[in-house]
Structure 1
Amino acid sequence: MALKSTIYKAELQIADMDRHYYADHSLTIALHPSETNERMMVRVAAFALFAQERLEFCKGLSDIDEPDLWAKDLTGAVDTWIDVGQPDERRIAKASSRANEVIVIAYGGKTSDIWWQGVRNKVERLRNVTVWSLGENVAPALAALAERTMRLQCTVQDHAAWLGSETADAVPIEWTVLKAAADARPAAHGGR
């Protein structure tokens, strides 16, 4: 018998002063049996950092044809595709051909550096792809925020972001932009 996903609920308040995006979101997040709290919370942080009207969680690990998050336009075409982790260059290229904008958020410190060196040459030619690498301690700190029912607040100001909860201090979300999309809309967040 296959293991089932664990369901997490989050009330997420976003105050993104860089993009002038202020909203409350009620999120239902399925934690895949092979997924860690670290990865799940990086997905939540990605939602908070790139929130828009139609952004939603996808099947992710359960379906290789879907990203972790996406936003589709009114016709059903994929506008924004967001993958978390270290996808191979074939997956990134496929996403690039299916979506207007592709965002990859890598985490894992040194393993992210090794991954990037392996895919960099092929990914850099994809004009609509942006790649971020989270700071080494960000994912473990985000994992500490995980609870089955969460009330989270994300603040973004002056190209810096924090995600916190009622029960824990805010985690600074630090990142390095490894590759910026050449033809995407101007980035709302900078990082280092």
Structure 2
Amino acid sequence: MALNATIHKALLQIADMDRNVYGEYNLTIARHPSETDERMMIRILAFALNVPADDLNGKLELCKGLSDVDEPEIWERDLTGEILHWIDLGQPDERRLQKAHGRAGRVSVYGFASSTPVWWSGIENKLTRQPRLAVWQIPAAQSQALAALAERSMQLQINVQDGGIYVTTDKASVEILPIALKTAQA
């Protein structure tokens, strides 16, 4: 018998001073049976860091991710269905990233394992011609601290200022300092 996804609810209150994005977002997250708290919380963080200031050109959506290999974890699509931003987590292979780069206006990857620098050094040279690709590492200790905030129903305040991210609940707070392994060219 197949296991069903577990539903989590998150209310995000975002104050991103670096991008001038402020708002409140209700997310319903279908957590795949094989997904960890850490991965789910990185997915929520990636959503918060990439949510557009408005939905005039389309909106950011959580996708099937682990359940469908043809979809990212998160994407932003315009009103015609064109993919504006493809967001993946973990350590996808270079073929997946090249395919995503061909389909989307921007591609972002958020790695969160301690082996992320090793993974990136192995594929970095194969992706030098992908100017719209950005790769970020969330330090493992920080992503694990973020995972400790996971609950079935969450209220998260996410503040971004000068590249630092502060995620706060009524019980705890976590500081996250992402490391840019590759930035997208404008």
Please say whether Structure 1 and Structure 2 have the same fold, judged by a TM-score greater than 0.5. yes
The one-character-per-residue Cα deviations of 1:79-98 (angstroms, maximum 9, x if unpaired) are 01100100000000010000
Partner of 2:111: 106
Give unpaired runs (5+ residues) of structure 1.
Answer: 184-192
Partner of 1:174: 177
Alignment RMSD (CA, Å): 0.9
Partner of 2:136: 132
* Correspondence 1:149 to 2:162: no
Amino acid at match of 1:175: P
Q: Once the 2 structures are TM-superposed, how far is the Cα of residue 125 of structure 1 from its aligned partner?
A: 1.8
Q: Is the 8 A contact 2:18 2:163 kept in 1?
A: yes
Give unpaired runs (5+ residues) of structure 2.
Answer: none
Q: Is the 8 A contact 1:14 1:22 kept in 2?
A: yes
Q: Once the 2 structures are TM-superposed, how far is the Cα of residue 167 of structure 1 from its aligned partner?
A: 2.0
Identity of aligned residues (%): 52
After TM superposition, the score normalised by the length of structure 2 is 0.94
Structure 1 distance, partners of 2:28, 2:66, is 16
Q: Once the 2 structures are TM-superposed, how far is the Cα of residue 62 of structure 1 from its aligned partner?
A: 0.2
Q: Once the 2 structures are TM-superposed, how far is the Cα of residue 128 of structure 1 from its aligned partner?
A: 0.8
Q: Once the 2 structures are TM-superposed, how far is the Cα of residue 148 of structure 1 from its aligned partner?
A: 0.2
Q: Once the 2 structures are TM-superposed, how far is the Cα of residue 105 of structure 1 from its aligned partner?
A: 0.5
The one-character-per-residue Cα deviations of 1:11-45 (angstroms, maximum 9, x if unpaired) are 10000111111110000011111110000000011
Report matched runs for 1:21-100 at 5 Å.
21-52=21-52, 53=55, 54-100=59-105
Q: Once the 2 structures are TM-superposed, how far is the Cα of residue 50 of structure 1 from its aligned partner?
A: 1.1
After TM superposition, the score normalised by the length of structure 1 is 0.92
Of residues 164, 167, 170, the one that matches 1:160 is 164
Q: Is the 8 A contact 1:96 1:102 kept in 2?
A: yes
Structure 2 distance, partners of 1:131, 1:80, is 13
**Alignment: residue pair count:** 181
The one-character-per-residue Cα deviations of 1:130-168 (angstroms, maximum 9, x if unpaired) are 001111311101100100000000001122111111222
Structure 2 distance, partners of 1:145, 1:123, is 34
* Secondary structure of the corresponding residue to residue 67 of structure 1: coil
